[in-house]
């Protein structure tokens, strides 16, 4: 697959997949099972953490349930995959300095030790710290925090502090789960937990990756563009690489993947945790020749064609 | 009153008190005074309170959030309509062939629509307020926030504000959401009001918290046409979708899903399938969530282990009720001592006179009408589509999905 061509094959390259293995596209089952097979075969070379789509409720709505029904005639495979999802870790740390999570931070969690203490072997709740880690987004518009106390309120929903300013710099997410958080919160978390970078996925990045808040947090967006398992090239160096992966073969009979003219990327970390972003196109091979900065200047394209003249209405009579 | 009946149900199910939290008289009088000073019109920003302190009469900030767009009465439905009306129209369209001709006799407007459709264009004037959820509410130039509350508390979702006479024009519209947003910002200025908003939902007199089986809902295996009909017949703009096995809230289908791109298909921002709060969530949190998600209502789910296992029946799962923007604003209307506060009136009125004809039976071939609920057409955005014979009904479970093309003409026998 394109992803492995660009980043190098496993096990020569270490991989960390930041969730969203299923839903949308047509090959969720195959994608997830491939990753599981790699995990079984090379447990030390590949890490999978949970995304918001690794959930019974979300997969029923966004396509994975239907795909399993279609391919296996019953909901068993879906149910077993969901049981595996329950065991996925909520986050990961690379060499003690890069913290990886699918979504973002939570007002209830200040320390990474608190994340370790969460009982994660359950369906993703619709609110609370476990949900927040998988659903939150960094937001450049968020109001700064008044840092008289470092800790966010224990339970945001019950706290109302009288006074003029916005409560704590955490905003409710328009997604309906998780929170929006700004630069202050991000930097404070990084400082408090002695990490250099938060790597996360969950949002589309037009250029494949997006650094924010003085490079304390990066969104990495990768789409696996092809169902064909191409020959994998070997690489001499052992590297750690980060990706987020969503099953993404386009098909017009299932839920479409976002088609915005974006590119995808893999964040590669070398032995000194130096960052390199490998960008690759998600379109067929004609786009690949332009794997240069020029790709990033393409405007997002709205795929819907807008007819010049609206055709006559097709009524029910 | 029915509220009392709900009280007795709720006392076995949850820890809802029999006495609701209320604002003190002194507090509510202070708030009422402030709200009466705020005009519904106006074009300033959200810092209007600062101006109040300087003594200047307030022009309420951007409470007008939509301009008036005049649409000729002859404009077609697709170009002009509100979602609830579109839903009513399309539901009717999809079920029209099931209506017996004598049912149509009593509905001249419906006959007019049919006649117009035969010519190929249906003017919006015929479909306007077909759902009976879009009455025209108008307030004068110098209307205040309190007057806005009065209108919205009766179920209107938007209010037209007139220009100063002698002009017959309109300044714009104020939506219920904008009014809700205004109250959250008022809470930042008045600590007593903020404390009132810190009350959990279960301690407030909200009319739809404990509906249980009365929450309009469909099961995940129902088809989308069922959902549309349900919305039209029940006079609601959103229904819950519950899981087959345990009745737990799974997702929601709304009239605004008609003709909409599935969430995340152009910006990659996936949304949670259904927006909900719990009975212990504060009113403030609920208001913030309504605003953040830009929705009109949130479902109330109760996952607490203290719920009684014997009553109500377990098929309700965790779904307990709903709380809407209008419900919340009605609370404030009561605080302002406004008479005649009844947020559920509009829905009851709508339910009593369903335009699509509630007597049409569900025949077995309805299953072949199954559609993706959140739909978008490749060729013409804004048109509903249905898969034609692709094996098996499409269920509500996958409520965020793409669309196959569909020809209305094929659906209905000539």
Q: Which of A65, A259, A314 sits opposite B397 (nearest CB)?
A: A65
pLDDT tens digits for B63-116? 666 666 665 666 665 555 566 666 666 666 666 656 556 666 667 777 777 777
> What are the pLDDT digits (tens) for B2-22?
443 333 333 344 444 556 777
Active site residue A282: no
Cβ neighbours of A52 in B, within 8 Å: 270
Check whether B402 has a pLDDT greater than 60.
no
In this predicted structure, the answer to whether residue A167 has a pLDDT above a threshold of 60 is no
Q: Taking the alpha carbons of B246, B250, B252, B258 in that order, is the dihedral positive or negative?
A: negative
Question: Is residue B323 pLDDT above 90, yes or no?
Answer: yes
State the burial class of residue B71 (Cβ atoms within 10 Å of its Cβ: 0-12, 13-18, 19+). Answer: middle
Superfamily of domain A1-134+182-249+266-282: Metallo-dependent phosphatases (3.60.21.10)
In the block, tokens 């509350």 appear at: B149
**A281 band by pLDDT with thresholds 50, 70 and 90:** low
B4 interfacial to chain A (CB closer than 8 Å): no
List, for residues B187-232, the tens digit of each pLDDT value. Answer: 888 888 999 999 999 999 888 888 887 888 888 888 878 888 888 8
What is the pLDDT, as a whole number, of residue A253? Answer: 31
Query: Which residues, including other chains, have CB under 8 Å from residue B34's CB and lie 6 or more apart?
Result: B52, B186, B190
Of the segments A292-296, B77-81, B138-142, which one has the largest average pLDDT value? B138-142
Mean pLDDT, rounded, of chain B: 68
Interface of A with B in 131-190 (CB under 8 A): 135, 156-158, 160, 162-166, 171-177
Domains of chain B: 24-69+136-194 (no CATH), 81-133 (no CATH), 199-261+268-304+317-353 (3.10.580.10)
Q: Write a three-state SS string for A17-36.
A: ECCCCCCCCCCHHHHHHHHH
* Rounded Cα gap, residues A303 and A305, in angstroms: 6
What's the helix, strand, coil split of chain A in %, to 5? 25, 20, 55
Confidence of residue B376 (pLDDT cuts 50, 70, 90): very low
pLDDT of residue A251: 23
Q: What percentage of chain A has pLDDT greater than the value 70?
A: 63
| Percentage of chain B modeled with pLDDT above 70 | 54
Strands B158-162 and B170-175: antiparallel
Position A268 confidence tier, pLDDT thresholds 50, 70, 90: confident
Domain coordinates of chain A in residue numbers? Answer: 1-134+182-249+266-282
Residue A139 has pLDDT above 70, yes or no: yes
pLDDT of residue B216: 87
d(CA B27, CA A181): 34
Answer yes or no: is pLDDT of A25 > 50: yes
Residue B29 has pLDDT above 50, yes or no: yes
Q: Which two tokens stand for residue A86?
A: 């329950």
Average pLDDT on A144-165 reads: 35
- Position B176 pLDDT exceeds 70: yes
- The residue whose two tokens read 């000194």 is A272
Which has more pLDDT, A118 or B136?
A118
Apex A217 CA angle, A213 and A219, nearest 5? 115
Q: Is the pLDDT of residue A291 over 50?
A: no
ipTM of the complex: 0.72
Mean pLDDT value of segment A214-238: 47
- In this prediction, residues B344-369 reach a mean pLDDT of 49
pLDDT at position A262 over 90: no
Bridge partner list, B400: B374
Within 10 A of A26 (CB to CB), how many other CB atoms are there? 21
Confidence of residue B364 (pLDDT cuts 50, 70, 90): very low
Scanning A80-139 for CB atoms below 8 A from B yields 126, 135
Q: Is B118 on the interface with A (CB under 8 A)?
A: yes
Average pLDDT over residues B355-379: 34
CA distance A10 to chain B (A): 27
Tens of pLDDT along A82-131?
Answer: 999 999 999 999 888 899 999 999 999 999 999 999 999 999 999 999 99
Contacts of B156 by beta carbon, 8 Å cutoff, 6+ apart:
B135, B137, B176, B346
Query: What average pLDDT score do residues B321-332 get?
Result: 93
Of how many residues is chain A composed? 317
A311/B380 Cβ within 8 A: yes
Please give the pLDDT value at position B121.
Answer: 72
The reported pTM is: 0.71
In this predicted structure, the answer to whether residue B276 has a pLDDT above a threshold of 80 is yes
DSSP three-state, residue A307: coil
């Amino acid at each position: 697959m394109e992803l492995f061509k660009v980043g190098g094959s496993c096990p020569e390259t270490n991989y960390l997949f930041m969730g969203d293995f299923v839903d949308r596209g047509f090959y969720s089952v195959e994608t997830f099972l491939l990753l599981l097979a790699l995990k079984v075969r090379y447990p030390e070379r590949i890490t999978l953490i949970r995304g918001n789509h690794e959930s019974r409720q979300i997969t029923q709505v966004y396509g994975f349930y239907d795909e399993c029904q279609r391919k296996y005639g019953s909901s068993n495979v879906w149910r077993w995959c969901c049981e595996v999802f329950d065991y996925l870790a909520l986050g990961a740390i690379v060499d003690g300095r890069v913290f990886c999570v699918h979504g973002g931070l939570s007002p209830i969690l200040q320390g990474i030790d608190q994340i370790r203490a969460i009982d994660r072997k359950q369906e993703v709740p619709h609110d609370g710290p476990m949900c927040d880690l998988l659903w939150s987004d960094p937001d450049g518009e968020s109001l700064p925090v008044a840092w008289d106390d470092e800790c966010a309120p224990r339970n945001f929903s019950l706290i109302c502090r009288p006074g003029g300013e916005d409560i704590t710099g955490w905003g409710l997410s328009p997604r309906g789960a998780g929170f929006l958080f700004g630069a202050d919160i991000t930097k404070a978390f990084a400082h408090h937990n002695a990490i250099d970078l938060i790597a996360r996925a969950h949002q589309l990045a037009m250029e494949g990756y997006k650094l924010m808040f003085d490079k304390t947090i990066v969104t990495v967006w990768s789409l696996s563009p092809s169902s064909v398992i191409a020959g994998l090239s070997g690489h001499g160096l052992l590297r750690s690489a980060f990706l987020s992966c969503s099953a993404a073969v386009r098909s017009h009979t299932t839920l479409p993947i976002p088609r915005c003219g974006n590119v995808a990327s893999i964040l590669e970390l070398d032995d000194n945790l130096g960052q390199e972003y490998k960008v690759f196109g998600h379109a067929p091979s004609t786009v690949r020749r332009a794997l240069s900065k020029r790709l990033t200047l393409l405007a997002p394209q709205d795929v819907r064609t807008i007819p010049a003249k609206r055709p006559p209405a097709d009524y029910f009579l | 009153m029915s509220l009392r009946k709900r009280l007795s149900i709720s006392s076995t199910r949850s820890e809802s008190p029999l006495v609701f939290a209320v604002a003190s008289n002194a507090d509510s009088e202070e708030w009422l005074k402030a709200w009466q000073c705020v005009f519904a019109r106006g074009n300033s920003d959200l810092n209007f309170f600062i101006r109040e302190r300087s003594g200047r009469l307030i022009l309420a900030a951007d409470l007008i959030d939509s301009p008036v767009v005049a649409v000729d009465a002859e404009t077609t439905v697709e170009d002009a309509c509100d979602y609830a009306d579109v839903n009513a129209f399309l539901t009717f369209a999809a079920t029209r062939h099931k209506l017996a001709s004598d049912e149509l006799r009593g509905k001249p407007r419906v006959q007019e629509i049919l006649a117009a459709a035969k010519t190929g264009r249906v003017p919006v004037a015929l479909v306007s307020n077909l759902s009976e959820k879009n009455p025209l509410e108008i307030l004068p130039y110098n209307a205040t926030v309190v007057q806005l509350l009065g209108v919205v508390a009766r179920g209107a979702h938007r209010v037209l504000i007139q220009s100063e006479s002698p002009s017959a024009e309109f300044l714009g519209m104020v939506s219920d959401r904008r009014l809700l947003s205004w109250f959250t910002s008022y809470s930042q200025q008045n600590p007593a009001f903020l404390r009132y908003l810190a009350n959990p939902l279960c301690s407030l007199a909200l009319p739809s918290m404990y509906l249980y089986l009365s929450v309009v809902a469909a099961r995940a295996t129902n088809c989308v046409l069922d959902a549309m009909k349900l919305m039209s017949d029940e006079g609601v703009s959103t229904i819950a979708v519950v899981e087959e096995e345990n009745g737990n809230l799974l997702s929601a289908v709304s009239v605004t899903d008609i003709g909409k791109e599935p969430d995340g298909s152009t910006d990659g921002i996936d949304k949670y399938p259904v927006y909900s709060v719990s009975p212990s969530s504060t009113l403030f949190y609920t208001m913030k969530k309504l605003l953040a998600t830009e929705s009109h209502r949130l479902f109330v789910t109760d996952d607490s282990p203290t719920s009684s296992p014997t009553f109500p029946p377990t098929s309700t799962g965790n779904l307990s009720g709903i709380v809407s923007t209008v419900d919340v604003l009605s609370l404030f209307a009561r605080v302002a001592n406004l008479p005649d506060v009844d947020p559920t009136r509009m829905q009851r009125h709508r339910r009593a006179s369903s335009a699509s004809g509630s007597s049409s039976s569900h025949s077995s071939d309805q299953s072949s009408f199954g559609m993706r609920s959140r739909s978008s057409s490749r060729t013409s955005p804004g048109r509903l589509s249905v898969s034609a014979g692709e094996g098996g009904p499409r269920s509500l479970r996958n409520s965020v999905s793409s669309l196959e093309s569909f020809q209305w003409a094929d659906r209905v026998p000539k």
